[in-house]
Amino acid sequence: MSTYQYTDIKKAFNINILGKGTQPMVFAHGYGCDQNMWRFVYPYFEEKYKIVLFDYIGAGNSDISAYSKEKYNSLESYANDVLAICEHLKLKDVIFVGHSVSAMIGLLASIKKPSIFSKMILIGPSPCYINKENYVGGFDKESIDELLEALDSNYLGWSQNMAPIIMGNEDRPQLGKELSNSFCNTDPEIAKNFARVTFLSDNREDLKKVSHPCLVLQCSQDVIAPVEVGQFVASTVKNSTLKILKATGHCPNLSAPEETAEAIKDFLETNA
Partner 1 sequence: MGKSNHISKQSDSIRLKAALDLYENAPCGSVIFRNDGLIVAINNTLSSWLGYRKSEIVNHRTLPSLFKIGGQIYFETHFFPLIKMQGFIQEVYFDMLRKDKSVFHALINVREIPSEGSGDATYQATILDVSDRRQYEKELLDAKRKAEADSKAKAEFLATISHEIRTPLNAILGIGNLLHNTPLNEDQKEYARLLLGSSEHLLSLVNNLLDLSKIEAKKLELEYVSFNINDLIITLKQIYSVKAAEKDVELRLELDEDIPQNIIGDPVKLNQILTNLIGNAIKFTKEGSITVVISVLKKEKKQVTLKFEVADTGIGIPEEKLEAIFQEFSQASYDVSVEYGGTGLGLTISKKLLELQGSQLHVSSKLHQGSTFSFELNYKVDKKKSKKSKQATETQTEINFDDYKVLVVDDNDVNLFITAQYLDQWHIPYITAKSGSKALSILSNEFVDIILLDLQMPKMDGYQTAEKIRALKLSQDPIIVAYSATTKGEVQTKLIEAGIDDHLPKPFQPAELFELLKMYKTLKKTKGKKRRKKLLKTATRSKKYAKQLEPETPPTSHESFSLDKYQKMANNKPEYLQKFVKSSLKAVQDYYKEFKDAIKNDDTAQLDKLIHQSTMTLYYLKADKLTALMKKCSELIAANDSASNLSTTTKECKKEFKTIIEGLKKAKKQ
Question: Is position 100 annotated as part of the catalytic site?
Answer: yes
Q: Is 181 in the site for partner 1 (CB under 8 A)?
A: no
Least Cβ distance, residue 94 to partner 1 (angstroms): 22
When asked if residue 31 is in the footprint of partner 1 (CB under 8 A), the reply is yes
- Closest CB 90 distance from partner 1, rounded Å: 20
Binding residues for partner 1, how many (CB under 8 A)? 54
222 catalytic, yes or no?
yes
Catalytic hit among 62, 100, 118, 201: 100
Please say whether the beta carbons of 37 and 254 come within 8 A.
Answer: yes
Q: Which of 102, 110, 222, 240 is catalytic?
A: 222
Region 184-243 residues binding partner 1, contact defined as CB under 8 A: 184, 195, 199, 221-224
Minimum Å gap between C-beta 264 and partner 1 is 18
Say whether residue 269 binds partner 1 (CB under 8 A).
no
**Taking CB under 8 A as the rule, does residue 155 contact partner 1?**
yes
Catalytic (active-site) positions: 100, 222, 250
Binding site for partner 1 (CB under 8 A): 1, 3-6, 30-33, 36-37, 65-71, 100, 139, 143-144, 146-147, 150-151, 154-156, 158-159, 161-162, 165-166, 169, 171-172, 175, 179, 183-184, 195, 199, 221-224, 248-251, 254-255
